[in-house]
Structure 1
């Protein structure tokens, strides 16, 4: 059976990181954008990360420019923007596509596990996937779902 741990992702510097490094942790995986109406959700994501990281939560951010080009071209600008404006300390990975011909295999897997409304495709920035400690996708949340609305689900998986 395929799990999230079967995938590797690119770090901002271009090196590969195996998601096996996160085995046994609860993951919140989010496609992000720095110039989106939902960008203030970075603050809520960071709050969740700080509150629960010692209990095994990891928030993984994947910048994406597929929705009205709302991400910087340069990944260094993205990571600096997240740190300066929202104090982000959770991992931000290299920019990816979440839909289409060049979509990252991680997102192909995530979408195969949990459909969105009417479609598997990601509709917008800040779609969130909650992954349990065994690497299985347990929930998908719409971009409009504020991070604090996910907290009870995260807490339940961590207990």
Structure 2
């Protein structure tokens, strides 16, 4: 049985990187998880700090830029966007059956460092729940 490819995609790679970290914790040998961004990847120390609260290391993987070849190869494309500030990308009709949208706050829009940190903690937990549900919905089918 060939390996499945699940591609997490967000605007700046922050939320998709968190999703990749949680997904890799599932330790599924027949699934490869990657993450990327449709705009320039951004780095912030909050990602590592939020994941460390759950004893998870931040993946050292690169941000995979979406390409037709990569999108076609993916078995599932999870697009993470914040409907308050972002417009989720539209995919060609041929890919629609394998696209899932997660509307998750972008913590980088918080007004203060304190509220930004709180949102990072909140989205880290929210993404964890969604990733765990993936195992049941898409992987164990």
Report if TM-score (shorter chain) is over 0.5.
no
TM-score normalised per structure 1: 0.40
Where relative contact order (Cα < 8 A, 6+ residues apart) is larger, the structure is 1
TM-score normalised per structure 2: 0.44
